[in-house]
Amino acid sequence: MRFAGKVVWITGASDGIGAALARALSAEGARLVLTARNRDKLQAVAEACTEAAVIPADLANEADFEALAQRAIQAFGHLDALVNNAGVGQRGTALDTALPVVREIMEINFFAPVALTQAVVPHFIERGSGRVAVTSSLAGFIGTPARSTYAASKHAVQGWFESLRAELHGTGVGVTVFVPGYIRTDISLKAKRSDGSSYGRMAAGNAGGISADDCAARMVDALAAGRDEVVIAGREKYGVLLKRLAPGLVRRYLHRAVPEAEEGP
């Protein structure tokens, strides 16, 4: 088993990709530290794993990330990997989305993984090994209507963790960025509308996307191989290449998509 005895901390572990990743890593022999807001859901995931500690936390309102990281380290005495997976989606236009909603999305999607990484990486450097991973999105390459803050948070993730990877060269600490496309999870149900309420609907793209278990399997492979970045998507992955080769064509498509933006994936 590729992760036998390794200790992996996963945020956003109560459902979706995070829960699937926990199960997949457990099957590979990993010991897990699981974090999310819902203690009951976390406990259910932990019970499906061989060895897992549960540390509930609301990353949007966490007062002390250093203390949270120390709790995670102490659960099994050390950490071998941190997977920053917690995230929230968006269904609201750039001009209408209330600033507190913008801040909440950025807190969860960008500031929390940055704060946790800053708290954990010194532990990895001291040990001479470790891996930080973060779940980004194809939205980290392409901004789409009604996803302005979500796209901004994922663009920020891409840039920050790419810079971190360069800074950590030679320390024994690696950085992996997961770039999922449409994954069949509840992310659209929980996405934030302009006023902060939940979107409450399963988007067509997610409904027809890759399963969370398949996504998690590819993430585990990427972690085991020490990959810097891995795109996990269906045909939508070609949008990134198209954006680079024919940006004008992508812009024209996005302009036409505006009226249906809040109904889209």
Q: Are 179 and 137 in contact (CB under 8 A)?
A: yes
pLDDT tens, residue by residue, 110-167: 999 999 999 999 999 999 999 999 999 999 999 999 999 999 999 999 999 999 999 9
Quote the CA–CA distance of 217 and 223 in Å, as a whole number.
10
Q: Which of 150, 199, 238, 253 is catalytic?
A: 150
User: Which residues, other chains included, contact 23 with Cβ-Cβ below 8 Å and sequence gap of 6+?
Assistant: 45, 48, 49, 213, 216
Nearest-5° angle of CA 119, CA 57, CA 104?
85
Cβ-proximal residues to 33 (8 Å cutoff; 6+ apart), any chain: 7, 8, 9, 10, 52, 53, 55, 72, 75, 76, 79
- Residue 264 tokens, joined: 């889209």
Instruction: Give the domain 7-263 fold.
Output: Rossmann fold (3.40.50)
Q: How far apart are CA 176 and CA 190, in angstroms?
A: 26
pTM metric for this prediction:
0.94
Q: Is 253 an active-site residue?
A: no
**Per residue in 36-90, pLDDT tens?**
999 999 999 999 999 999 999 999 999 999 999 999 999 999 999 999 999 999 9
